């Protein structure tokens, strides 16, 4: 809904007089800069918050948490890679006509190193344009996908919930699991394009599962490696979508 509103607002703003439109744009730019500074301050303080959330659980579980976290890391990375290999690659090759070279595009390298879909957006646009996609795909579909399409986040959040349920010894019923899946689907559309964004957006998912939100501290503390693969999966999903639209737009 917020994406639709933003598009409609932008179209309406384009019809406003230049003087008033410029005033609105200056306000928006000021708000954007203030939010960037706010997010920067939060990220600086985030390690302290993560430490405060993780200490009580680590004290309670002791050395057992090391093995649990190692198993979580292995599982979430393996499932993310498997989902990309078994779903996105075949879809891109069969339905989108992608070549193996497109799956090794610079966009994936940027996503893996930066852990940010938004940071990889310029490289994605360049790759899509170089592949001969229509302008509407490179200038409209890809930016919108970078804002709301989070293939890797869906995998990570689901695994994260199951991991925390096991860690806190909480048994999830079938209705709870169904609620978690539905919540994950909707939550992925609101994940910010910053490092660790999908973990930060997990609060509604944990509430749906009846799990304590302080478990986010454990996931954030070890999220660097999973986030690299998760962001690469997000970028691969966007490139696959662009390829499918490119092939079927002619």
DSSP annotation of 10: H
Tell whether 24 and 125 lie within a shared domain: no
Report CA 55 to chain centroid distance, whole Å.
27
Tell whether 147 and 30 lie within a shared domain: no
Query: What is the Cα–Cα distance from 246 to 115, expressed in whole angstroms?
Result: 26
Tell whether 28 and 72 lie within a shared domain: no
Q: In this structure, what token pair is assigned to residue 247? A: 């092939």
In the 3-class helix/strand/coil scheme, how is 135-199 assigned residue by residue? HHHHHHHHHHHHHHCCHHHHHHHHHHHHHHHHHCCCCCCHHHHHHHHHHHHHHHHHCCCCCCHHH
Query: What is the Cα–Cα distance from 58 to 81, expressed in whole angstroms?
Result: 29
Could you read off the pLDDT tens digit of each residue along the chain, which spans 250 residues? 555 677 777 778 788 888 888 888 888 888 878 877 776 777 677 667 666 666 666 666 666 677 778 888 888 889 888 988 888 888 878 876 777 666 667 888 888 888 777 778 888 888 777 777 777 777 777 777 777 777 788 888 888 888 888 887 888 888 888 888 888 877 777 776 667 677 777 778 888 778 887 777 778 777 788 888 888 888 888 888 888 887 766 5
Query: What is the Cα–Cα distance from 161 to 143, expressed in whole angstroms?
Result: 29
Range of the domain at 18: 2-38
Tell whether 30 and 122 lie within a shared domain: no
Tell whether 193 and 88 lie within a shared domain: yes
Tell whether 27 and 91 lie within a shared domain: no
Tell whether 156 and 243 lie within a shared domain: yes
Query: What is the Cα–Cα distance from 83 to 201, expressed in whole angstroms?
Result: 21
Percentages of the chain per state (helix, strand, coil), in multiples of 5: 80, 0, 20
| Structural domain count of the chain | 2
On the 0-12 / 13-18 / 19+ scale of CB atoms within 10 A, 66 is: exposed
For position 159, which CATH number holds? 1.10.3860.10
């Amino acid at each position: 809904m917020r994406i639709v509103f933003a598009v409609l607002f932008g179209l309406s703003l384009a019809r406003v007089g230049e003087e008033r439109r410029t005033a609105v744009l200056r306000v928006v730019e000021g708000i954007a800069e203030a939010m960037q500074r706010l997010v920067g301050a939060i990220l600086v303080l985030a390690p302290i918050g993560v430490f405060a959330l993780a200490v009580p659980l680590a004290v309670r579980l002791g050395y057992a948490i090391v093995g649990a976290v190692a198993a979580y890391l292995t599982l979430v990375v393996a499932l993310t890679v498997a989902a990309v290999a078994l779903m996105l690659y075949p879809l891109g090759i069969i339905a989108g006509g992608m070549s193996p070279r497109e799956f090794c595009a610079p966009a994936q390298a940027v996503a893996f190193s930066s852990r940010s879909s938004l940071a990889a957006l310029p490289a994605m646009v360049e790759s899509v344009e170089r592949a001969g996609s229509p302008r509407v795909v490179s200038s409209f579909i890809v930016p919108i996908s970078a804002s709301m399409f989070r293939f890797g986040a869906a995998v990570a959040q689901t695994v994260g919930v199951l991991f925390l349920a096991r860690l806190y010894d909480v048994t999830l019923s079938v209705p709870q699991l169904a609620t978690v899946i539905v919540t994950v689907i909707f939550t992925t559309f609101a994940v910010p394009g910053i490092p660790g964004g999908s973990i930060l957006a997990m609060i509604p998912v944990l509430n749906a599962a009846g799990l304590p939100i302080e478990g986010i501290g454990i996931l954030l503390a070890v999220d660097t490696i999973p986030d690299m693969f998760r962001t690469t999966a997000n970028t691969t999903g966007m490139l696959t979508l662009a390829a499918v639209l490119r092939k079927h737009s002619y």
